Structure 1
């Protein structure tokens, strides 16, 4: 029996990973949650070192995937102590406990460790984060690689996938504004057309992680830093246009050509995925196909004006 602990299993990526791993014969998955607990999840505050130790001791996993994080740049900017607790200190604690049990640890990081000025970025490109979120995730990467023997960091860009609320992904968070801009007499919604993003489907990421776990299970462990990314560049305005098409809404949308975010964000952090690709790891679902799947599973009519 190959046992995997998923830390942060109730989140956007964690749920997709649980679904992917549940299809594996001879594998057991134990997932944790903090705010969205359920009978299938173990309640765990990753900031509690004693609770983390007890969880790892009890489960004794073969592998640990750390998907829990503070992922909102504006929150990290306002509360760097929280960002550090979740994105750095918790990673170190979990990795240390896993290491003592001989478990392989995979930690999720972000394209925001780069400043976005010289894409594409390789796994060994020099990081230069622009904001507190990127800095905390970079420190979390170092905490993982310094603590976990043979551990691995997986950098990912903008994620989207099956949701429990519009606000759960920066992609679907655009839907309420799009719906409002489609109302009779509504003003046009201004959408960022400056920053270039690479939306990446969480079921595809879960597939990638499962492939990495399979390699570890057969003694071909991937360690160090790897990256995975969708391959369709688009800004938020272009994402909004495609969302409106998928929703069959005639929304009035206006591109905003200069950055307006209070928290600085990089222009283009395209991640090169070659290190995984040469191992035969990877899957990419076309954006238009994937977003229709997401929207079909989360009925929007009557809900789109509220998050």
Structure 2
């Protein structure tokens, strides 16, 4: 299986590269160059087409996206370009070269009012980010009808800088000892990036076999936490007094965060033969993921 991964230098992209390590895999990056990846500006239609022409993949995985609030607020056109235009270019090129396409989306396409959400549930994003992700879904589906769309929640795992994952950023905040207020209204379902990457691999394999094409799928950990609850869990594990951590309503007050966007993953679990007991749990995994960042902060 020949695989081309756009956005291979990001948190999910790196994990997907690892998941396909025994395949003929090509990864792309632009700003964060590293050995083994080819430099591709995915905002350029010609460059995307050239990457497909060179790699000749069986499956393309699109992990490109802009989720950071600062970029969305200060550079909305850039955020649109990275989330929607890039998705369109990749879908067009993938279809032209006869490859399968796996497009990664978000649980923020839902309003969080009536969970759990099935893949065919009505989408009603509350904020700009969710609207971009839904527009990207609609765009790639219009271009490449056999695209497989995978919606994921917030991810955590080995990061290269603290803000690369919201969970690592929370760990740095709570371990600083400074007063911090974390939202205690909006529930999130932190999922280990390596689990998400393995699901990507299994979906790609299914696509090659002619299964699960033209469908939307959900993947998520089972247990939900608010940011405040995650902060307390991290503080308690590392023995930090939690008195400086306050519960707030910041995400809820902003109006663009779904209160509970829990994804119903039962169909995909059945299709992949993935048992719930095979999942990593946040409580067990997050201490290992954030440990080095906590120690750095405390020194």
Q: Same fold (TM over 0.5)?
A: yes
> What's the counterpart of residue 281 of structure 2?
286
> What's the counterpart of residue 173 of structure 1?
169
Q: Distance in 1 between matches of 2:105 and 2:74?
A: 20
Q: How well do the aligned residues superpose, as a CA RMSD in angstroms? A: 1.8
Q: Does 1:97 align with 2:93?
A: yes
Kept after mapping to 1: 8 A contact 2:28/2:38 = yes
> What's the counterpart of residue 153 of structure 1?
149
Higher helix share: 2
Q: Distance in 1 between matches of 2:258 and 2:186?
A: 7
> What's the counterpart of residue 72 of structure 2?
76
> What's the counterpart of residue 243 of structure 1?
234
Rate the CA distance shift 1:235–1:157 in 2: closer, same or farther, 3 A.
Answer: same
Match of 1:254 among 246, 252, 271: 246
> What's the counterpart of residue 203 of structure 1?
194
> What's the counterpart of residue 13 of structure 1?
12
Match of 1:37 among 13, 33, 40: 33
TM-score by length of 1: 0.90
Where 2:27 maps in the other structure, the secondary structure is: strand
Structure 1's unaligned 5+ residue stretches are none
Kept after mapping to 1: 8 A contact 2:236/2:242 = no
> What's the counterpart of residue 302 of structure 1?
296
Match of 2:256 among 258, 264, 267: 264
Structure 2's unaligned 5+ residue stretches are none
Q: Distance in 1 between matches of 2:298 and 2:112?
A: 32
Q: Distance in 1 between matches of 2:296 and 2:122?
A: 46
Q: Which range moved further: 114-123 or 68-77?
A: 68-77
Rate the CA distance shift 1:153–1:122 in 2: closer, same or farther, 3 A.
Answer: same
What is the CA distance between 1:73 and its match in structure 2? 3.8
Q: Distance in 2 between matches of 1:158 and 1:28?
A: 28
CA deviations on 1:70-95 (whole Å, 9 max, x unpaired) are 11244224332112211111111111
Q: Distance in 1 between matches of 2:148 and 2:200?
A: 11
Kept after mapping to 2: 8 A contact 1:215/1:221 = yes
Where 2:20 maps in the other structure, the secondary structure is: helix
Q: Distance in 1 between matches of 2:191 and 2:33?
A: 26
Match of 2:43 among 43, 47, 50: 47
Rate the CA distance shift 1:304–1:12 in 2: closer, same or farther, 3 A.
Answer: farther
CA deviations on 1:189-236 (whole Å, 9 max, x unpaired) are 221101111111100001111111221233324332111111101100
Q: Distance in 2 between matches of 1:248 and 1:43?
A: 43
Match of 2:221 among 225, 230, 245: 230
> What's the counterpart of residue 192 of structure 1?
183
Q: Distance in 1 between matches of 2:49 and 2:298?
A: 42
Q: Distance in 2 between matches of 1:38 and 1:171?
A: 24
Rate the CA distance shift 1:79–1:143 in 2: closer, same or farther, 3 A.
Answer: same
Q: Distance in 1 between matches of 2:283 and 2:65?
A: 28
Rate the CA distance shift 1:248–1:19 in 2: closer, same or farther, 3 A.
Answer: farther
Q: Does 1:3 align with 2:2?
A: yes
Rate the CA distance shift 1:257–1:47 in 2: closer, same or farther, 3 A.
Answer: closer
Q: Does 1:124 align with 2:120?
A: yes
Count matched residues. 295
TM-score by length of 2: 0.93
